[in-house]
Amino acid sequence: MKREYIFAGAGGFAVLLVLVVWLVMRGGGSSGYTMADAEEAFASTDYVRTAEILSELAEENNLLAQYRLGMMYLDGRGVEADADRAAQYLARAYASEYAPAGEALAGIYVDRAENADSVEAGVEWYQRAADVGSMEAMTVLGSYYLSGTGVEADPERAIELLAGPAEAGDVRAQSNLGYAYLTGTGVPQSDADAFRWYLAASQTGLVRAQPILGMLYESGRGTERNVPEATRWYLNALSAGAPGVDARLGALIANGEVPVQDEFDAVAWVGAAARGGHAPAAAWLEGQAEAGNADALAMLGEFYIAGQVLPQNASRGLDYQTRAAEAGSAGAQLAMAQRYATGDGVEQDYVQAHIWSNLAAAAGEAGAAEQRDAVARLLSPEQLEQAQQMATEWLEQAGND
């Protein structure tokens, strides 16, 4: 936390004098010390003397001295570091409406909340921090009351706490308010208000808000339906690792609402949509497979073999997997290598196992080089030469296609 020491510099002494007059009027003055004396000691780096002077002035209800002494206890400058003593002096200054003390005091309370032994134990400290104006504490408490974490759920109280930080730009508070309005939790349900808050949080970069904003654009809830905007936010979220977004993009592609672009991992996204139960996704993959798309062939092979999305059909899965390997899918090539090495669904053939694992390794497939080298130890020199030659010929043919 940044430490703010309110002492005058060379150009600010007049301001200091105004503060001194105001603070003396607020109380005390019998010690004979002034804030100018504290300034002089501080400027000469005599922090022990500074703390002594401030202690006298603080007892005379000099608010600036109370604040300054609290900061010295917080930092251990001129006195032994003592967060409890710091909080006492800062609380006295804040209670007398010296606003700068609130920020420092809130910092102490938030630190204690974050280091509490349990969520429940931290609630009291977050509440104290919120009481002195900490937006951080209001946001955390608001989320607690919204979800019932460490406290009894109180959606109305949550909304009260979140409103200020959200308006001030706290993305977490904005996202939580978006959820509240979207679900009608603690407030009347409002798609328009949900869209407003999710948009604000997304524009500031909160990843978890972006997929929801995308869905609002996609469905036209709280705003006009806008698939390009939905796609843009889905892509932003996907690039940041947000889960589930690939399936949303895949569904749009399978529906024909988003054209496939070169940088899209379209087959993987549509596959995710298919796993999620989106009916048009499997048909889209079938169409791509018939057009010779290696990744689509491999995906359908996996579905048929596992009985996932499509009814289990081992022979059909093997057919798709073989076609995928021949079309250049490195993953399918490694799968075929493993099949030939073990005789799984095909006649065991170490030469074929070496060819396919070699091709997969050339394409950079993880684990393929190890598979190739393991199979090579089972081949005679003549067989190894044959396998390498056939792999080379396959690569040359593929390069000419």
Which 8-state DSSP code applies to residue 367?
T
Mean pLDDT score, 9-38: 54
Q: Where are the alpha helices (DSSP H) in 278-363?
A: 279-290, 294-306, 314-327, 330-342, 350-362
| Residue 280 near residue 269 (C-beta atoms within 8 A) | no
Residue 4: what pLDDT? Answer: 52
Pairwise pLDDT comparison (33 vs 230), residue with the higher score: 230
Residue 401: what pLDDT? Answer: 64
pLDDT band at 315 (very low <50, low <70, confident <90, very high): very high
Q: For residue 387, what are the contacts with CB-CB under 8 A and spacing of at least 6?
A: 351, 354, 355, 358, 379
pLDDT band at 29 (very low <50, low <70, confident <90, very high): low
Residue 30: what pLDDT? Answer: 64
Mean pLDDT score, 53-75: 93
Distances (CA, A) of 33 to 78, 80, 156: 18, 22, 50
Residue 3: what pLDDT? Answer: 53
* Terminal Cα distance for the chain, rounded: 63
| Residue 234 near residue 258 (C-beta atoms within 8 A) | no
In this predicted structure, the answer to whether residue 319 has a pLDDT above a threshold of 50 is yes
Task: Express each pLDDT in 174-222 by its tens digit.
Answer: 999 999 999 999 999 999 999 999 999 999 999 999 999 999 999 999 9
The residue extents of the domains of the chain are 1-133, 339-401
| Residue 108 near residue 74 (C-beta atoms within 8 A) | yes
13-22, 40-49, 126-135, 148-157 — which is least confidently predicted? Answer: 13-22
Which residue has 């196992």 as its token pair?
353
Mean pLDDT score, 80-109: 93
Distance CA 60, CA 69 (A): 13
Task: Express each pLDDT in 143-185 by its tens digit.
Answer: 999 999 999 999 999 999 999 999 999 999 999 999 999 999 9
Distance CA 172, CA 142 (A): 10
Residue 28: what pLDDT? Answer: 44
* Residue at 66: amino acid letter: Q
Distances (CA, A) of 317 to 298, 371, 374: 9, 22, 26
What the block records as the tokens of 149 is 């974490």
- Mean pLDDT, the chain, as a whole number? 91
In this predicted structure, the answer to whether residue 400 has a pLDDT above a threshold of 80 is no
Distances (CA, A) of 277 to 200, 250, 256, 322, 396: 31, 11, 17, 26, 40
Residue 330: what pLDDT? Answer: 95
Mean pLDDT score, 71-80: 94
pLDDT band at 362 (very low <50, low <70, confident <90, very high): very high
CATH fold for the domain made of 1-133:
1.25.40
3-state SS of 149-161 is CCCCCCHHHHHHH
Residue 398: what pLDDT? Answer: 83
Residue 32: what pLDDT? Answer: 83
**Residue 169 CB coordination number (10 Å):** 12
Residue 27: what pLDDT? Answer: 42
This prediction has a pTM of 0.81
Helices (H) and strands (E) in the chain, counts: 22, 0
> In percent, how much of the chain has pLDDT > 70?
92
Burial 226-248 (b: 16+ CB within 10 A, else e): eeebbbebbbbbbeeebeebbbb
Dihedral sign of CA atoms 275, 277, 278, 281 in order:
positive
| Residue 182 near residue 189 (C-beta atoms within 8 A) | yes
Task: Express each pLDDT in 284-295 by its tens digit.
Answer: 999 999 999 999
Dihedral sign of CA atoms 46, 52, 57, 62 in order:
positive
pLDDT band at 26 (very low <50, low <70, confident <90, very high): very low
Distance CA 156, CA 159 (A): 5
pLDDT band at 334 (very low <50, low <70, confident <90, very high): very high
Residue 1: what pLDDT? Answer: 44
Distance CA 268, CA 122 (A): 43
Residue 20: what pLDDT? Answer: 44
Residue 263: what pLDDT? Answer: 84
In this predicted structure, the answer to whether residue 10 has a pLDDT above a threshold of 80 is no
3-7, 84-88, 243-247, 382-386 — which is least confidently predicted? Answer: 3-7
